[in-house]
Amino acid sequence: MSAPIAAETILHIGSLPISNAQINATLALVILAMVAFFLKRGIKDVPGRLQNAVEAILEALLDIFDQVTGDREKSKRSLPLVGTLFLFILLSNWMGLLPGTGSFGVWHLIHNEYELVPILRPAMSDLNLTAAMAMVSVITANFVGMFTVGFFVHWNKFIQLGTFWKALKTLNFMKIFTAVIELGVGVIEMVSEIAKVVSLSLRLFGNIFAGEILITVIASLAAFIVPLPFMALEIIVGIVQATVFALLTLVYLTAASSVPHAEEESAEPAMAH
């Protein structure tokens, strides 16, 4: 059985193709939504064991977030996005290890040959999904930056036209040269935003897809017992990859919501006056 890089289409809803990775992702979302719904309905003033367990997990997540943000309030504001990403990626990764994933499917005519297309495929082994999540993370970080430190302060990290214009008015060669360098640094910063999307998406996709290939190869050689250690390893990989993606998103949010060092320095003399 082969494992193509692109997710395979299982069916069409009208003209919309539905891939096996989409089915896995949708199931994960439905499970998370149902768990959240029943947990919310079951909240009590005197928590039971389940509510205590969930609160302990959330508190543990906030403690980890505090190590990045340094502020509990920032951690709480980041929890809905970062926590959801963590849980969604973790659940999707673990669902890819369930029996039947990658083995049960439908027969499709591909290149004049009938091939078995699995109905379920690990959601994070679809580059479209990981790229979309990475874009959401980076774009959200930029919006957070605009709303927290201000539109012009945030975008001044990338396009420092104000600094360049002030340098031109002084007709000072060194200031103009410095402003040109800062413009170049701003271009590099813009490229780095694109690089964040690429690195986030490829890291998650590459690790999960490689794990899928490994399990497929091992299972084809020995169907019983032998794949178990590798599946246990994939459980750990699933946790690690969910943690890395979530914490990097948190780092981007925290950095975007912090006032740039240059702006703080320029604000200090103004406050002194």
- 161, two tokens: 């036209």
> Contacts from 23-31 at CB under 8 Å and sequence distance 24+?
23/119, 23/120, 23/121, 24/92, 24/95, 24/96, 24/101, 24/120, 24/121, 24/122, 24/123, 25/92, 25/123, 25/126, 25/129, 27/95, 27/120, 28/88, 28/91, 28/92, 28/95, 28/123, 29/88, 31/91
Cα(150)–Cα(267) distance, integer angstroms: 14
- 174, two tokens: 């060194």
Whether the predicted pLDDT of 265 surpasses 70:
no
Q: Is 107 helix (H, G, I), strand (E, B) or coil?
A: strand
What pLDDT score was predicted for residue 90?
92
In sequence order, the 6+-apart residues with CB closer than 8 A to the CB of 174 are none
Please give the share of the chain, as a percent, with pLDDT higher than 70: 74
Q: What are the residue boundaries of the structural domains of the chain, listed by start?
A: 9-265
**pTM: predicted TM-score of the whole model, two decimal places:** 0.80
Q: Taking a C-beta distance cutoff of 8 angstroms, is the pair 68, 243 a contact?
A: no
Alpha helices of 42-126 — where are they, by DSSP H? 49-69, 72-95
Q: What is the pLDDT of residues 119-162, one digit of tens each?
A: 778 888 888 899 999 999 999 999 998 888 888 777 777 776 66
Highest mean pLDDT out of 50-54, 159-163, 171-175: 50-54
Mean pLDDT score across all residues of the chain:
79
